[in-house]
Amino acid sequence: MRNAPTILHLDMDAFFAQAEQASKPSLRGKAVVVGGLGPRGVVATASYEARVFGVHSAMPMAQARRLAPNAAYLVPRGAFYRRISDQVMALLRALSPLVEPLSLDEAFVDLEAGEAAWDSESARLAGVRLRADIRAATGLTGSVGLAASKMLAKIASEQAKPDGLVLIEPGTERSLLAPMPVRTLPGVGPATGDHLRRAGIATVGEMVEAGEDELVRLLGKAHGHALYAMALARDDRPVVAERETKSVSVEDTYDVDIHDRVRVELEVQRLADRCVRRLRGAGLSGRTIVLKVRRYDFSTLTRSETLRGPTDDPAVVREAAARLLDAVDTTGGVRLLGVGVSGLADFTQEDLFAQAAEVRAAEVRAAEVRAEGPEDEAPEEPAVAEVVPAEHRWRPGLDVRHAELGHGWVQGSGLGRVTVRFETPGSGVGRVRTFRIDDPDLEPAQPLPLVPRRPDGAPADTAGRVPAVGPRPGNGR
């Protein structure tokens, strides 16, 4: 444990939903739910206005609609959220070289490593400045926790929500934790919490009173020792700047079970291609191909095959995934499919058999062309763009542009029509119009930035920015 609260935990407030509200003036102050909108969709994020009705993350979307029927239900815009996340993470890395992202909207920062803070006062000022910089750069709010350990910094940020800052002074940790429920501690989920409650242990203070031996008896050696240390506020885990990627995977859940074996095979091939694109985008390759199949009865099967060397060849990954699928019975129907690659490396080893097959195929094609003669050679066919179904082009929440009316977003679609609200992050509440889904003047668009930018990329207005923390006394800076 440190002697100063120089570990910071940032958690953006209801990140996806807040970003949607900032992007769409008509949704500000209203209940917004972001997630999968199909019959089997789940809630990714709910705004605080939606949480009043009991809606929360990971809840089935059908249940959310029953609880908050008048909320706005939108599909996630992943690329939009990632751009905002990149802005936030850049601000964190300006504070310290030790930034440990946990997700798009959450990270630990070691302020001491970047000499951004060294005591309680400088840590608080760093946290205040960070929150102001995030608001200036993105227009969004985040909650900050400051403490002498990662566990306590995360607890502090939870207490700070929404849009606040909480600092836990060193020496006050145990008295702060004592009255909190056991579920406050990381590693205490619903099952462990119920087990402790049945043993008469409901708070962190009661865990300490029960003693380490009793926790080991109830929970096992490793878990018992770890939770007792946490109950005493002991946490020496460092902030780790880089987390090693162990696997790359993609998966899709289908609104209706797939029974057609040919369709299943085509979906696996498509997922394999998506997985390889993500793999190559990260500059990685992998040796182990993994297939995940969740069947109609919710049973989940995972099959894997390890290659002789790492690859990022889509043909190799497709072939391996197809072989794995051959060993899986899908006659009852499939509700989820996934393809992943693990055993990652930053280099590739060519598959000699696949390479040889490609060479032989090329030789055969060349021989056929020579036999037919140049006058019989067929012209190369142009690449065909993937056709996006209309119901996917016009999903609620996605950005569109009209040739005359400008930028807007889809409120809903159906029966051959799409309803659009025309507004931008900097406008007032916009007007609503309805069009045919094949209207030639309407097309998908890229999201607009939440904060207007100057030509140099800086926010157009940084009013309200808190002055930077001054140099540490005596450090020569």
Q: Which residues are catalytic?
A: 106
CA angle 254, 106, 229 (to 5 degrees): 110
C-beta separation of 71 from 31 below 8 A: yes
**434: part of which helix (H) or strand (E)?**
strand 431-436
CA distance 41 to 46: 14
For 149, residues 6+ apart whose C-beta sits below 8 A from its C-beta are 1, 2, 7, 173, 233, 235, 236, 237
C-beta separation of 302 from 292 below 8 A: yes
Which tokens go with 292? 């995940």
Q: Tokens 């930034």, residue? A: 99
CA distance 214 to 235: 20
Q: Tokens 């019959």, residue? A: 39
Closest C-alpha to 54, from 75, 39, 33: 33
CA distance 450 to 459: 10
**230: part of which helix (H) or strand (E)?**
helix 221-231
C-beta separation of 459 from 112 below 8 A: no
CA distance 125 to 137: 18
Closest C-alpha to 279, from 308, 306, 245: 245
Task: Enumerate helices (H) and strands (E) in the chain, giving the number of each.
Answer: 15, 17
CA distance 329 to 333: 9
Quote helix, strand, coil % in the chain, to nearest 5. 35, 25, 40
